[in-house]
Structure 1
């Protein structure tokens, strides 16, 4: 698996896929920079008038519900329908699932409209999306990734998609298949936009690797390894964010193969 992940990173950088993001105000800049650093090409477009055209030229669509509004939701719906029709991978990041009735309602609408290719979120979000009554702290997780394993399995089977759960150990589920990625550092949870960037980078890997399970593992490993490399340079959130972007740009496929911890 490690050699496949390394090959995927090499291919991503060679192709530089365009990743269409409908994401939130908080993370747009960081997410775009993370995609550029890893070797992909980002576009942030949420206007109802152009999302269908943007999907047509993109390699993948990433829908992140972090900051919702009715017009943005309409853009998400149009983009997801267009992506499904054209066979483009759809990554759904259910930010803050379970926090408010409106957020839950929007997620229900999106999932009933189009099944995503990949759902990527934290433990609490995955549990809430599956229907569990969980306590949340806004967009922060109060549940571990391992707590949500059965919920991830259920979602994967229900929607016929891959589910990637971030945490101290990242868990990637595809039907009966499960992978555990043990790369990363705790400081990553103290930087806004890390999870959202994980979803965007998952989109980049899905754009070049049709095996979505393998693509999701590749994204989790790349994020985790680069988090570890960034921590060698900085142990404070502000400078860590910059070090992380530098690590995304500098990490080699050989380092990914050597440092990946996948079970």
Structure 2
């Protein structure tokens, strides 16, 4: 199924996506998923996981703001998704900044996400290759992380997406790059986190590699449109949400290259 087919299917099916994300990202992530054509649910309590996660099309987990109760919910949700063959996406935000965060990321990774999405520094560090990230911001190029992404894909079985000016996605056997967007995108807090939620929406309707690629392409295509209208980061966010809803399959297809 191509990126354009998945975009059409997403809007037709409006999948329910269970998004466990950080405090900073909740609003923008929910709005991105809604604008793209899916239905977000932003809950994290362990007590609700058993009832709720199985009725969703996909799960996304972002470790941006950790606490012990939230980690319990993340682990429970990942295990529940696995038990019900529900695809899930892991975003190991700044997993290298503390031992606690590293342990949580490794625990979640061991539960076999369908898609692993991070910036170059996060992917390099997760592969054991260092990396020069500063908090949630990458200090490395996407190109520098491509070999690490392929190694992680082979090791974990997950599709690995490295995001940046030109995104890279691989399942170890295949790879693709996605170009476009705007230099304003990193100026909007949690926009990258919201991309993880969008990957979950696509994972609910298509295979993991296709889903990751489609989400990356949808984001870049919307960024292209918003960049033509925005005066700065504030107006870009408004135009970006509008563009996510308005972008057409041909715009998405144009961002992808091998």
Alignment of 1:174-193 (within 5 A): 174-193=171-190
CA distance in 1, matches of 2:132, 2:4: 38
Secondary structure at 1:68's aligned position in 2? coil
- Report whether the alignment pairs 1:82 with 2:77: no
- 5+ residue gaps, structure 1, are none
* Equivalent residue number for residue 238 of structure 1: 234
**After the TM superposition, which parts of structure 1 deviate over 3 Å for at least 4 consecutive aligned residues?**
none
CA distance in 2, matches of 1:97, 1:127: 11
- Report if the CA contact (8 A) 1:99-1:136 is conserved: no
Match of 2:215 among 219, 226, 248: 219
Instruction: Tell me the TM-score normalized by structure 2.
Output: 0.97
CA distance in 2, matches of 1:166, 1:254: 22
CA distance in 2, matches of 1:141, 1:233: 27
Q: CA deviation at 1:139?
A: 0.5
CA distance in 2, matches of 1:135, 1:249: 35
Q: CA deviation at 1:254?
A: 3.4
Q: CA deviation at 1:204?
A: 0.5
Q: CA deviation at 1:249?
A: 1.0
CA distance in 2, matches of 1:195, 1:178: 20
- Report if the CA contact (8 A) 2:64-2:94 is conserved: yes
Q: CA deviation at 1:134?
A: 2.3
* Equivalent residue number for residue 122 of structure 2: 125
Q: Which moved more, 1:134-143 or 1:35-44?
A: 134-143
1:149-191 residue CA offsets vs partner (Å, 9 max, x unmatched):
1110111011111000001110001022111111222211111
CA distance in 2, matches of 1:170, 1:139: 17
* Equivalent residue number for residue 204 of structure 2: 207
- Report if the CA contact (8 A) 1:97-1:124 is conserved: no
Count, aligned residues:
258
CA distance in 2, matches of 1:224, 1:255: 9
CA distance in 1, matches of 2:73, 2:54: 14
Secondary structure at 1:186's aligned position in 2? coil
Q: CA deviation at 1:212?
A: 1.1
Instruction: Tell me the TM-score normalized by structure 1.
Output: 0.95
